[in-house]
Structure 1
Amino acid sequence: MLPQVLVPRPNLDTRSVEQLRPPDAEAAVKENLYAGVSAGQVTAGYRSAKYTPEEWFTNNHATLNQAATHRDNAQRVQRASKALYTQTDNATLRTQAEGTKHLGERLQDIYFWKSELERHIERLLAETDLLLAQKRRLEKALDATEIPFAIATDNLTCRERRFGPDLVQDQVEEELLKEVELIRSIQALLKKTLDQVVNQIRLNREAKQTLEHDWSDKHQAYNLDDQCGRYSNRSRDTQHYSSSAKVHDQLCDSSAWVGFTQTNLALAEREEMASGALRALCERVLQETAEDLRAQCAMVEEAFSRRTQDLNQARNQLELQLTQVLEEIGAQERNICSLQQAVYDKEAPLRVAQSRLYCRAQRPNMEHCRDQPQISLLDEVEQISGSVQALQGQLAEARASLAQLEDSRLLLQKDIGCKTHSLLIDREKCMRHRTHYPNVLTLSGY
């Protein structure tokens, strides 16, 4: 049921009426206006309107039609508006819910990759700490090699003070030279390994710093997305940002974002593997170098032991020989004394025989003949002279033998002193100095 439409009487203008009036009605209006002029003059003071009833109905009908049209249009607009805001509300709530859902999923992704970054950061930190421990062991092992090097070079320097026939390049010297060369090569290897460890520590820290930067960005992004996820239509800290949608045109996509983190994680895993392999190499190098040094030290000490045994045995033999030579010298000196006494003892018989011959040479004339006493005396003088000559020859030979024995005594005493000096160097200086040789644990860097 349509409500009543109350239309007040309009203050109509003649011009508007004329505009609404059809063209064929102008003549009739004019005719009505001018018909009965005389009557109109009489009733001129009583006319209250300028329009006819037909005009009034026409105008009223037009107003009603216009109002009904406007009302229908308003109802249509209201229905469309209601449908539109219902649709937009649903769409807005749906898109907002999807956005919140996507933010939640994004938070889960960020949390997952952030956790992965944290795990790899902790592993890199632990690996770097282990490498630092290996670095300290390498430095200690490198410092520990200075003691064996000083001991070996001191042994070589001390053994250069040997003299005489003992200044020989024996097995001890060869082993000492091998030990010096081995220590130099081990020092070079430890320095090279130490440089590799320092470089790997730098790479680990760079990879850790890269992961920390990525983790920091993801932590900040997580907090921002978490804050965005907590925004609602009732939040009071939201406001309009008209240009916020225009700053996201040059951003990377999700695959590039994941690929960036995966690349960083792959780099960290590669450095972790390299660090682990380097730690194993360091452990093997430290163990093998320590064992090689101790093995060479044992060989040197064994060579020293054999050499000291040889020197001691040689000195004992020389001392025994010197004792025998001294005994022979005493015997030869007694022999020389006996020979000298024997030569002296032949002087009286020789004087007697020569005196007899001299006296008998004084015989006169025919008495000076070669008789049997003369022949006997001549044989006696010749025999005694031969004996003296033989004794003097033997005395000269004995004296020569005594001189040789004295030379042998001096040589033996000198050689015994040389052997004693060599034993003092090898046993008292070198071998006692080698008691300060570091053990395997010290050479391993502990």
Structure 2
Amino acid sequence: MKMTSEVLVSRPRFDSREVAQAEPAERELASLREAPHPSSGAATAGYRSAKYTPGEWHSNNYSILQQAVTDRDEAQRIQRESKALYQDTEAATQRTQAEGTRLLGERLQDIHLCKSELQRHIDQLLADTDELLAQKTRLEKALDTTEIPYAISTDNLTCRERRPGPDLVKDTVEEELLKEVDLIRSVQALLKRTTAQVVSQIKNNREAKLMLELDWSDKYQAYNLDDHCGRHSNMSPDTQYHPSSATMQDQVCNPTSWLKFTQDNLTKASQEEQASKSLSLLVERVVQETSQDLRAQCSRVDRAFSQRCAELIAAMEQLDTHLTQILEQTGVQEKNIVALQQAIHDKEAPLRVAHSRLYLRSLRPNMELCRDEPQLSLVGEVEQIDASLASLHQQLSEARGSLSRLEESRMALEKDIMCKSHSLLIDRDKCMTCRRRYPTISALLGY
């Protein structure tokens, strides 16, 4: 019995649970190592048998039963916990999925609102750009139209340089023409500057519109992707595993920066829209004021031309009146000269008679050659005729001088009349006729 108890104590205990938990190879080794050796019959007589005792059998059975109870309870606990866990996780997953779907819906609304606002500003910028293009065309037409009045004004100045000397004066017409030339140059410079501003604004509008279109395109793609995401469900056949997509990318933006980017683009677009409206008003005011200024200056030049032509006509009428009088006086003076010449000629015969008488009486002999009354009368007659002839010759000389001066006056009057006729021809027939081609208000407005 002593040897038997020692053998029982020294035998290792067989634990089936540990074997079940070991690896397959280890389980086999443990089974081979722990399995009892079968009795070999007579060879083992008188020695300790390898069989278990009843106590060991009961102990082992009790241990197995207890382990089964423990394992069953553990399994039930795990089942209860698993059921609660998958119910909780299912509910949490459904809640999370529903929340994600709801947030996707809200995100779609936000994207739709941003897209609508972007589209509105894109349409507005497009309309503003089209209006500025029309304004640019108006400015270019108005600028081209100013070449006609500039050519007219310079041609008027060139033509008036061909006025004859006495009429080559810097009158009101020339002053107004010079003002008109300066005004046209100023208007052309202003139209060019305004056109450059319009071109620059069109460029800015197109750049802002491009940024909005790029942002709209991105949001269009994002909307379609989010809309597709929102349509995914647990029954969708096209869902796949993408483990790497669950990680947060470093380069992504946050909702604040996302909204700020769109707001910045919209703010820039609003600024360009406001600038476009202001520039359109400026263009309209510029073409209105420049056309009115040009037409007003044209009217002043036309009035100056009319006044100058009236002055030339009045001067020509006065010259014609004086020329008529000079011609009358010239005829009268010519007749006067003829009469004086005849009067001088008429004095020749009496002078010859008086000289002949005196000569014959100077032949009287001796004492008969006395200074009697006939002698004194003849001497007085000769002196009187000589004095008359001297007076007649003096008067004839003055008459001829007057006639010469009358001829000079006639020539001067005729020359002045020709000058003024030529000036009137330049101002009225040449310049004023040319100014009838002056552009109308609608042409100066660029229509």
TM-score of the two chains, using structure 1 as the length reference: 0.90
Does 1:106 pair with 2:107? yes
Which residue number corresponds to residue 11 of structure 2? 18
Change (3 A) 1:378 1:231: same
Which residue number corresponds to residue 417 of structure 2? 416
Does 1:56 pair with 2:57? yes
- In the aligned structure 2, how far is the partner of 1:194 from the partner of 1:51? 115
C-alpha displacement of 1:52: 2.0
Which residue number corresponds to residue 387 of structure 2? 386
Which residue number corresponds to residue 348 of structure 2? 347
Which residue number corresponds to residue 169 of structure 1? 170
Q: Describe the superposition over 1:308-360 as per-residue Cα deviations: whole angstroms up to 9, x where unpaired.
A: 11111111111111111111111100000000000000010001111111111
Which residue number corresponds to residue 226 of structure 1? 227
Change (3 A) 1:41 1:361: closer
Which residue number corresponds to residue 138 of structure 2? 137
Which residue number corresponds to residue 159 of structure 2? 158
How do residues 321-340 of structure 1 correspond to structure 2 at under 5 angstroms?
Answer: 321-340=322-341
| Structure 2 residue identity aligned to 1:146 | E
Which residue number corresponds to residue 303 of structure 2? 302
- In the aligned structure 1, how far is the partner of 2:88 from the partner of 2:70? 27
- In the aligned structure 2, how far is the partner of 1:101 from the partner of 1:366? 174
Aligned-residue sequence identity (percent) comes to: 64
C-alpha displacement of 1:366: 1.7
Range with bigger deviation, 243-252 or 373-382: 243-252
C-alpha displacement of 1:245: 2.5
Q: Which runs of 5+ in 1 are unaligned?
A: 1-13, 22-39
- In the aligned structure 2, how far is the partner of 1:132 from the partner of 1:44? 123
Change (3 A) 1:16 1:135: farther
C-alpha displacement of 1:283: 0.5
Which residue number corresponds to residue 178 of structure 1? 179
SS at match of 1:232: coil
C-alpha displacement of 1:41: 6.8
| Structure 1 residue identity aligned to 2:186 | S
Range with bigger deviation, 357-366 or 134-143: 357-366
C-alpha displacement of 1:70: 1.4
C-alpha displacement of 1:255: 1.3
C-alpha displacement of 1:251: 2.0
C-alpha displacement of 1:44: 5.5
Q: Which runs of 5+ in 2 are unaligned?
A: 1-6, 15-40
- In the aligned structure 1, how far is the partner of 2:317 from the partner of 2:103? 99
Change (3 A) 1:15 1:43: closer
Which residue number corresponds to residue 5 of structure 1? none
Which residue number corresponds to residue 27 of structure 1? none
How do residues 36-51 of structure 1 correspond to structure 2 at under 5 angstroms?
Answer: 50-51=51-52
CA RMSD of aligned residues (A): 2.0
C-alpha displacement of 1:174: 0.7
How do residues 278-297 of structure 1 correspond to structure 2 at under 5 angstroms?
Answer: 278-297=279-298
C-alpha displacement of 1:65: 1.2
- In the aligned structure 1, how far is the partner of 2:43 from the partner of 2:326? 198
C-alpha displacement of 1:238: 1.4
C-alpha displacement of 1:398: 0.2
C-alpha displacement of 1:260: 1.1
- In the aligned structure 2, how far is the partner of 1:69 from the partner of 1:245? 41
Which residue number corresponds to residue 268 of structure 2? 267
- In the aligned structure 2, how far is the partner of 1:445 from the partner of 1:42? 134
| Structure 1 residue identity aligned to 2:389 | V
Range with bigger deviation, 246-255 or 131-140: 246-255
C-alpha displacement of 1:365: 1.7
Range with bigger deviation, 268-277 or 51-60: 51-60
| Structure 2 residue identity aligned to 1:79 | R
Matched positions, count = 414
Q: Describe the superposition over 1:213-270 as per-residue Cα deviations: whole angstroms up to 9, x where unpaired.
A: 1111111111111111111111121111121133423322111111111111111111
- In the aligned structure 2, how far is the partner of 1:144 from the partner of 1:69? 108
- In the aligned structure 2, how far is the partner of 1:130 from the partner of 1:363? 127
Which residue number corresponds to residue 255 of structure 2? 254
Change (3 A) 1:360 1:235: same
- In the aligned structure 1, how far is the partner of 2:119 from the partner of 2:193? 32
Which residue number corresponds to residue 205 of structure 1? 206
C-alpha displacement of 1:75: 1.2
Change (3 A) 1:126 1:43: closer
Which residue number corresponds to residue 7 of structure 1? none
Does 1:120 pair with 2:121? yes
- In the aligned structure 2, how far is the partner of 1:49 from the partner of 1:423? 158
Change (3 A) 1:75 1:355: same
SS at match of 1:240: coil
Change (3 A) 1:74 1:156: same
Which residue number corresponds to residue 395 of structure 1? 396
C-alpha displacement of 1:72: 1.3
- In the aligned structure 2, how far is the partner of 1:247 from the partner of 1:358? 159
Change (3 A) 1:384 1:423: same
Which residue number corresponds to residue 74 of structure 1? 75
- In the aligned structure 2, how far is the partner of 1:43 from the partner of 1:393? 206
Change (3 A) 1:304 1:84: same
SS at match of 1:250: coil
- In the aligned structure 2, how far is the partner of 1:49 from the partner of 1:425? 154
SS at match of 1:363: coil
Change (3 A) 1:399 1:41: closer
- In the aligned structure 2, how far is the partner of 1:249 from the partner of 1:311? 91
TM-score of the two chains, using structure 2 as the length reference: 0.89
SS at match of 1:243: helix
C-alpha displacement of 1:383: 0.4
SS at match of 1:77: helix
C-alpha displacement of 1:83: 1.2
C-alpha displacement of 1:16: 11
